[in-house]
Amino acid sequence: MRGDVAVLGAGMHPWGKWGHGFVPYGVAAARAALADAGVDWRDVDSVVGADTVRGGYPGHVAGATFARALGWQGARVTSVYAACASGAQAVGAARAQILSGLADLVLVVGADAAPKGFFRPAGGDRPDDPDWLRFRVLGATNPTYFGLYARRRMAVHGDTLEDFAQVKVKNAACGALNPNARYRARVTAEEVAGSAVVADPLRLLDICATSDGGAALVLSSMEFARRHGAADPVRIRAVSTVTPRYPSTVLDLPDIATDSAVAVEPAPDTFRASIARAAYEEAGIAPEDLSLAEVYDLSTALELQWYEDLGLCAEGEAAKLLREGATALGGRIPVNASGGLASFGEAVPAQAIAQVCELTWQLRGRAGDRQVEGARVGITANQGLFGHGSSVVAVR
C-alpha cells in the first residue's frame, strides 16, 4: 500500500541512565508527542507499542502498558517486537492501519531501561536459540561483531583507526547540540585513541553505550491532518521492514556462520543495502534526493558501512566521504545530526522511533543549533537482530 501519513507530533524522554522502569520514559515521550501534535489522548484511535523484552516481558506488554498508564480509553492496541527494528515495525504497523482506514490517529511509543554493560540473552540452557549459542560457544558479544566488521573494512577498503575516531568526533559534536542526548560533551580523536580496546580494533569510544530512553510519534491520515489545521506536515513516505535473501553471506549478529553460497548465487545487494533500496523504491526517491540520514551507529566503523549501503557513496568510499566533511553538519549529506547512538546509547525499542523524531524536527526546521539547512527529505536506517530490516523515509 502506498501513500503518505502525517507526523503530527514527536516527543522524547531524554536518554541517560535514570534508574527508572521503562514505563515512565514511554509515557513522558507519549505526552510530549501528544502535546506537540495538539491532540487529546482520548481522541487517539490506536496505540502501537514497540516492546522491550528484558524489562517488559513477561509481565508487561508495551502497547497495553502505555495505554493503561496514559488512562484506558478504548483505543485499538498493537505491540510489536523486532529487536532493534521494533520501533520501525511499530511505525510500519501504525502506517498500515492509517492507510487502510482502520485508524485516523495513532500513537507510536517505544521505551527501555537497558541493563549496564553487554547485552546478553535470557537465562537458562537454550541451545535452540542462536543468540544464546554465540555467547555460550564463542563468548561473542555484540562488540565482537562490530570488531569483525571494522577489521574487514580496514583490510578491504583501507579504513584506518583515525577514520573510525573521526566518526565519533563528528557525532559527539552533534550530540553536544542535542538536549535529548545522553552524552553532551565534544570528543577528540586523541580521547578515542586513548580509550580502552573493547574488541580489536574498536575502543570504548568507538562503540555505543546502553541507555534508558523513550521516544514517541503521533501519526495521522493526511485528511485528519488537514482537518486538524496541519496543511503541510512532515510526511512518512516509506517504511522498509524487509528480511534478508538467501544466501545471506555477510556474517551477522547473532550467527556463528553465514549461509553457504554453494547452491544459490548471492544477490548483488547485501541485507543492509537491500533495506535502504526497498525504502528508496517505496518512496520513489534516490540517494541524491536526501537532505540528511540518521543511521544505526552501533560502532563508528558500522556508520561508515551504512554510507555505502545507503548509496551515499560507492563501495569502499565511505572514509573518503567522511574525510571530505560531507557527512558532518554543514556538509553535503549530514549523517546523524542528532548525535546518533554515539551520543544517545541504545534503548532498543525506542531508537528507531527516535530517528524518526529527529527527521521530523529537522524537516520542520526546528532542530535548533543542529539544524540541517533546507532539509526536505530524510532517511533512517537500522537493523534488528534475526533479520529485521528498518528504514523510514520522511519528506516535507
Nearer to other proteins, 247 or 311 (CB): 247
Q: Starting at the edge strand that comes first in sequence, how are the strands of the sheet with 377-384 ordered?
A: 76-80, 46-50, 105-113, 212-220, 5-16, 234-240, 388-395, 377-384, 292-295
Q: Which of 199, 219, 225, 348 binds other proteins (CB under 8 A)?
A: 199
CB 142 within 8 A of CB 348: no
Q: Which of 17, 136, 320, 376 binds other proteins (CB under 8 A)?
A: 136
Q: Which of 19, 59, 179, 262 binds other proteins (CB under 8 A)?
A: 262
Region for residue 393 given its phi and psi (left: phi exceeds 0; alpha: psi -120 to 50; beta: otherwise)? beta
DSSP secondary structure, 127-192, as one string: TT-HHHHIIIII---HHHHHHHHHHHHHHHH---HHHHHHHHHHHHHHHTT-TT-S--S---HHHH
Residue 76 found at the interface with other proteins (CB under 8 A): no
Nearer to other proteins, 146 or 280 (CB): 146
Site for other proteins in 138-197 (CB under 8 A): 138-141, 143-144, 147-152, 155-156, 196-197
Using the rule CB under 8 A, give the single segment among 4-12, 22-30, 112-120, 309-317 that binds other proteins.
112-120
CB 347 within 8 A of CB 211: yes
Residue 134 beta carbon to other proteins: minimum distance, rounded to whole angstroms: 8
Task: Please state the separation of Cα 309 from the chain's center in Å.
Answer: 15
Nearer to other proteins, 265 or 288 (CB): 265
Residue from 309, 315, 253, 292 nearest 372 by CA:
292
Phi, psi of 52 (to 5 degrees): -110, 130
Rounded distance between C-alpha atoms, residue 89 and residue 388, angstroms: 9
Nearer to other proteins, 157 or 376 (CB): 157
Nearer to other proteins, 244 or 334 (CB): 244
Residue 114 found at the interface with other proteins (CB under 8 A): no
User: What binding mask, one character per residue, do residues 281-320 give for other proteins by CB under 8 A, x or -?
Assistant: ----------------------------------------
Residue 133 found at the interface with other proteins (CB under 8 A): yes
Q: CB count, 10 Å around CB of 130?
A: 15
Residue 162 beta carbon to other proteins: minimum distance, rounded to whole angstroms: 19
Rounded distance between C-alpha atoms, residue 94 and residue 85, angstroms: 14
Using the rule CB under 8 A, give the single segment among 18-26, 63-71, 246-254, 278-286 that binds other proteins.
246-254
Rounded distance between C-alpha atoms, residue 237 and residue 3, angstroms: 7
Nearer to other proteins, 205 or 290 (CB): 205
Residue from 86, 294, 324, 301 nearest 178 by CA:
294
**How many residues touch other proteins (CB under 8 A)?**
48
Residue 326 beta carbon to other proteins: minimum distance, rounded to whole angstroms: 27
Residue from 313, 292, 304, 305 nearest 356 by CA:
292
CB 170 within 8 A of CB 161: no
Residue 244 beta carbon to other proteins: minimum distance, rounded to whole angstroms: 11
Using the rule CB under 8 A, give the single segment among 96-104, 113-121, 163-171, 354-362 that binds other proteins.
113-121
Rounded distance between C-alpha atoms, residue 233 and residue 27, angstroms: 24
Q: Which of 162, 200, 281, 369 binds other proteins (CB under 8 A)?
A: 200
Q: Which residues bind other proteins (CB under 8 A)?
A: 117-118, 120-121, 123, 125, 127, 132-141, 143-144, 147-152, 155-156, 196-202, 246-247, 249, 251, 255-264
